Structures are given as C-alpha cells and as structure tokens.
Chains A and B, each alone.
Chain A
C-alpha cells in the first residue's frame, strides 16, 4: 500500500492543536494517500491474476524471513501458527503494519516500522494466498471511506468500542494485551483486521459485517481523524480519567499558584 499514508496521517493526527492548518494538511494528504492507495490496490488485484514470478519471489522472502517460526511450508511450528488459509489480507495486515516479523515474544505482536517494501509484502501475500484460499485484499470501494458515517459509528460502538474505545483511542485487554488505538491506521489495515481477526481480535467475517458495513466503519474512523474535536484539545480521548488529572494538575494547581500570588505581600 502507499507507504506514505499511515505515517503522514499519524503525523497530522486529530490531536493537533493547530486545527485549521492541520485539517487542511490532513485533507490534502488523505486525498493524496487515498489516490496512491487506489493505484496500489489495483496493482494487487492484478497480481492475483498473473505472475508466478511474484509468487516465486514471495516464497523466497518467506523462506528467508518467516519460515523459522511458521515452518518452511507455512505449516506452523510451536513458535508460530500455520498460514495455510490465512490469505493475502492477513499477510498484508501483519507485515504491512510492522507486526510481523515479530521482534520478540510478548503479550502480543507490536506495531513496528515496516520491514519490507509494498512489492515484497505483495509477493509474500501472493505466495500465502497461493497455498490455500483465504481472505484477499478488498476492492477499493470497500476501503474508500465514502460510506455512511452514522451507520459506521453505530456498528463501531456495538462491535468495536468495548476494546478500542468509542473514539478509537484503544484500551486494555487481559494479561498485558491491549487493543491498539485506531488513529492514523490505513483503511486497508482496518479492513484486514476485521476480516482476519489478528491476535485475540475476534473475526468479523463478511457474513457478520458486510463489506459495505466495514466501509461504513472506516468512514466513521476517517471522519474522526479528519475533523478535529470541536471542544478543543481532546486530552487523548481517554474519558474522565484524563479530565480528572487535568483539572487537579492544571486547574487546581494553577489556581493554587494564583492564591500564592494573591496572598503574598507586594514588594
């Protein structure tokens, strides 16, 4: 996918105080990103048709980078699950967000700088998709973010918010795991996460949430990203805890400083 879009969207995230300027930048970048994205996903679609050469290249990359955990034929080992039937979309999500290859075992795979170019990721995805049928990278219209934000928001609240927080700020799971924040995540990765259910996330197959509904959810998340919080700085969208800390430290703290000035005798 467009290598610029996740990083740039994160840079100009919704928490920026320079609202208007940031909004413009986000808008421009998002448009550019979406355009770049559109062109690359088309490329992915083409690869599925052709190119045994691509699959071959993917096989080599897999053997060199993934086979130690997932097995030479992706049959799975004690260190990593089988990828037979995982599909191209799972590879695109896991490698494209930097979660794979895993640096160290921990409660869950972490987002890291992406290790491969999009061509290499596509090659590995093609190789895995060639092993057995699995979820494929979606068509552009399902990740365009042009759906109904209201339906998306409602579905997001019911299916996603308990882990990812209503504003997509993320949240805690058991035993040190966590649901990541969703700001700045590429739409194709949001889509991929819903379809493939990475790590402990449940699977939301097309029989549960239709591709159109997934697009609605993406639309809502893009709406949050593109529109700065109307009330001013959102303090991380973490709810009453950050608000409470803020009022104690800056509100009451500031007023205590005022009382000290107020009661000190003038020079």
Chain B
C-alpha cells in the first residue's frame, strides 16, 4: 500500500515479526523444492495493460471456473441413467409420471435439495455467460487486429475454446432429459442422419440404438463432465501461456510503442483487480441465479417423442445453427441415379456453418497473406484504421445475427405481430444480402471516421466560439490538440497494396495475381495518417 513517494514499511527494516518469519520460512521451504522464486521473478512484476475490453476474456475464464465449481456440486446429485422410473418427488404436476432417472434426479436437485436449484441456475446462467463472453472477447480481438503476428496461434486456440464451449453447452443442455432437450437431440439425430453415406450408422452408434435409445444421456454425460472439460482446461492453459509469452497488446497512447508494455504489474495491482473481478463475475452470476429462472425443466416434462412445445429453441449459442436450418427453402431432397438420398435441406446449412466457422478460424492467416505483413504487432488497432477488416467483421456479424434471429422467428412473429412466413423471408434476404450491405456501410463509416480524425489532428476541434476578424470575416475558432491528444489520432500505419512481381524464375503465378488483387481490395481505399510536414505547414 504505497500511497506516498516513500512507502512506510517499518516491518521490512526492523526485526521481522513472527508472521513474517513464518512466511519467510515457508517461502524458503517451497522454493528449495520447486524453484518457485524463478517463476515469481519472471512473472510477479509482469506488466499488464489496462483497458476495459481486455477484461472480456477474464469474464469467460471466471465463468468457466464458476461452471466447474457449480458443476461439481451437481455431479454429486445427478444420475445420468435413462432407466425408467415413476416420479415420486414433491412437484405435484409430475407425480406418478414415468420418466428417466436422469430427469428425476434433475428434478430432485431442483425441488428436494436446499440450494440445489440455485446451483443448477448458477451453472446454466454461467454457461450462457461463458459462451457470450468468449464471443465478445473474440470480436474485440478481431476488430483491434490483436490476432496478427505473433498471435495467430492463440487466435486458433481461442477459436477451439469457442467450439468447446458450444459443445460443453450442448451436451449439458441435453442431460436433464426433459422434453426441450430431447427434442434438441432429436434435431441433432435428424441432422446426423442427413450426412451422406454414413449418417444413419453414425446416429445408430451414437445413440446406441434407434433414437432415442437408453445410452445417449450417459454418453453425453461422460463427454460433458470429463472429456470436454479436460480438453477445455488444456486449451485454456495453452491460451494463457501463449498470452504470457506474447505479452498482451495495448492501445496506442503517448509513450506506448510496439516495443514496450505499459500498465500495472501483476503483483499487486493487477492481481488484486483480477482476483476481485473473479468475485464480481461470480457474484453477478449468483445474483442472476437467485432472482431469475433458467430452464424450468419441470414445465417441459420428461422426454417423450410425441409432444413438443411451442417456442422450442436451443440455448442462444446454438441458435445460429438452428436458424440456418429454418431458413433453407422447401423440397431440397435429391435422389441420385444410384438411389441414394442427398438431404440438401440439411446439408447446405451444415456445410455453410462449417465453412463460416473455418473462415473465422483461418482469418488471421488469410489477412497475413493478403497484406504481406510479417512484422510483429503489439499495438491494438482502432477498428476504423483497418476499414476493410472492420467491414469484413461487420459482414460476418450480420450473417451470424440473421441466422441467430431466424432461430427465434416464431417469437419475433408473435411479439411484433408479424407472420412467420414474412419473418423468414426477411431473414433469408438479410442472410444473403445483409453482409454485403453491412460491408459497404461499415467501410464507408470507417473511412469517414478516419477523415474526421485527420481533420481534428490537423485543425483541432470546433470550439463553438465564433470570432469576427478585423476585416469583418467571421470564423469559428478551432481548438488545437496537444501532442498527447493528437498521438491517438495519428499513430497508425498506412498500407499500400502489394505489387505483382515476378518470382525467381521470372514468372508471375496465379496465386500472386490473386494475392495482389486481394491486397488492392484491402488497401485501395485508405486515408493516410497526418505527417509532421502537414502538421508544420498547418501551424504556420
């Protein structure tokens, strides 16, 4: 706690107290066996830059910890068996109804165990938050170019974590074996069956019988509590180690360069904030769980292949896949001359989603190739200073959002008094043309913002003060920026498109032509940062 220039630390100078002596002994004991001091020396005063958007990944990490803690509690009471029993618990509208043991034990957690419902709700809300925080974190990394060299690998690791989070979420959503999750599994079964050649077999092996079988819940349970969390934890480890190796990016600010990191040291300031933030994230999740119902499985009843509820939807992060299934036009089955069925109505959305996800995963390599940029980047770009990338991101968001909205087409229709058919048609159009529109609008907006920055950097901002000159002319006084304020507006690189050049054999390859034209597309429209000369001539 050093609040003054000379921190008062009497205990360090005079004879150490009893507590200090014990701490010293313990530290020595541990270090002689683990060499822990090396790690503390290397990491203890590592600098971490401060910006609110750098905390989003922490939200994801901490919600994962909350998921692990609440999930462990749930495993003590949950029984994944699909054996049929008659409900004997305290929820009146289900008494005497046959159901699986899995569903029964989920109900018992909710109705019989004190705090059990709270833990279920904490677990589920934390899961929704986990994926949402990953999504927002990915968007931050994307739009600030923080995936560029040397962080491409970490982008891929992060992407895999996003996929793992969705897989964990979906397997967990299925476990209570209620009507909603059962219909979700039925949809998965239908999608798997559409896979050419092996679809029916994969479904048969996965479910251990015809759908629904009696194996799927125990199998998903093993994946949900063992395999997927293990992979996720390993990936989180890699993600964090790579982050330490690469050091965190920082936004441009006076004194900050590509060759330094400015911020607070891990010990004590950053650690205190980060640890405090863990408790804040945990607290907010528990607060939500104590006041807001999530997934009231007792309403849905046990899984039965005959009933279904209006508004049957997956959790939000699977929504884009469900929406893609809804948007495809009718009657797309094709039977080929050999008599095999190609269910394009399911395959097109499926392949489309895989392509979309692959594009997300591989984008850093694509951009590096197109720009030919091999430098290390540690300054997070302002999105406007990379107009084409920002526009691509906006197009991707629009595509995803249209699919996502389609997953709630029925609720949009009832809540806004529209027709389902009209909503679907509008979203079909939005899915196909929306990304292009978003691309052009975003690119123009970025360039306009850059122009505004340039204007302000050169001429200052309008002060609103009108002055009459001796000659009778009226002018508005512009207030000049100081050097520190200006730096934020001018500290970016200008890029030029790559020229087509012959290679060693004196040939120009197709890939080079492609690359050159992509590079032109990336950088043709650009606004150069203000230079010193321009600034000087403006001043005089």
Residues of A within 8 A of B (CB): 107, 149-150, 152-154, 157-158, 161-167, 169-176, 178-179, 220, 223-224, 229-235, 237-241, 243-248, 250-252, 254-256, 258-260, 262-264
Contacts and interface: CB of A to CB of B under 8 A. Distances in A.
16 contacts: A150-B96, A165-B310, A165-B311, A169-B310, A172-B420, A176-B418, A230-B117, A231-B110, A244-B317, A251-B125, A251-B285, A252-B132, A254-B284, A259-B52, A262-B55, A262-B273
Contacts of B7: none
Contacts, number: 196
A154 B117 contact: no
A155 to B, nearest CB: 10
Contacts of A230: 110-111, 117, 293, 296
Contact of A263 (B50, B121, B417): B50
A252 B133 contact: yes
Q: Which of A153, A170, A220, A229 has the most CB of B within 10 A?
A: A153
Nearest to B87: A150
Nearest to A107: B419
A169 B315 CA distance: 18
B505 interface: no
Most buried by A among B125, B293, B317: B293
Contact of A238 (B110, B133, B311, B407): B311
Contact of A243 (B59, B301, B309, B316): B316
Given A230-B293, A252-B59, 8 more contacts: A161-B308, A161-B310, A176-B418, A232-B293, A240-B314, A255-B281, A259-B55, A262-B280
B277 interface: yes
A167 B299 contact: yes
A258 B277 contact: yes
Contact of A162 (B92, B288, B309): B309
B447 interface: no
A168 to B, nearest CB: 9
Interface stretch (B193-201, B408-416, B494-502, B531-539): B408-416
A181 B97 CA distance: 25
A222 to B, nearest CB: 11
A259 B419 CA distance: 40
A261 B293 CA distance: 28
Q: Which 8 A-B pairs have the closest CB atoms?
A: A171-B310, A244-B316, A231-B293, A172-B410, A259-B55, A176-B419, A153-B93, A166-B309
A251 B110 CA distance: 22
B179 A166 contact: yes
Interface in B65-103: 92-97
Given A231-B121, A232-B292, A259-B55, A244 B319 contact: yes
B407 A149 contact: no
B471 interface: no
Given A178-B414, A243-B128, A252 B315 contact: no
B300 interface: yes
A220 B96 CA distance: 14
B317 to A, nearest CB: 8
Nearest to A152: B93
Interface in B334-363: none
A259 B410 CA distance: 35
A149 B92 contact: yes
B96 A172 contact: no
A237 B414 CA distance: 14
Interface of B: 50-56, 59, 92-97, 110-111, 117, 121, 125, 128-129, 132-133, 136, 179-180, 273, 276-277, 280-281, 284-285, 288, 290-296, 299-301, 304, 306-317, 319, 407-411, 413-414, 417-422
Contacts of A171: 309-311, 410, 414
B306 to A, nearest CB: 6
B180 to A, nearest CB: 7
B93 A220 contact: yes
Nearest to B117: A231
A194 to B, nearest CB: 17
A150 to B, nearest CB: 5
Contacts of A240: 180, 295, 313-316, 319
A109 to B, nearest CB: 14
Nearest to A158: B307
A235 to B, nearest CB: 6
Nearest to B315: A240
A238 B411 contact: yes
Nearest to A239: B311
Task: Select the residue from B290, B409, B420 with max chain A CB neighbours within 10 A.
Answer: B420
Q: A232, A247, A263: which has the most chain B beta carbons within 10 Å?
A: A247
A176 B422 CA distance: 9
A186 B290 CA distance: 32
Contacts of B304: 157-158
A243 B280 contact: no
Contact of B93 (A149, A245, A255, A256): A149
Contacts of B319: 240-241, 244
Given A172-B310, A172-B413, A241-B411, A231 B281 contact: no
A196 to B, nearest CB: 21
Contacts of A174: 419-421
Contacts of B94: 150, 153
Contacts of A175: 419-421
Contacts of B284: 251, 254-255, 258
A85 to B, nearest CB: 30
Contacts of A162: 307-310
A81 B527 CA distance: 69
A255 B92 CA distance: 38
Contacts of A251: 125, 128-129, 132, 284-285, 288
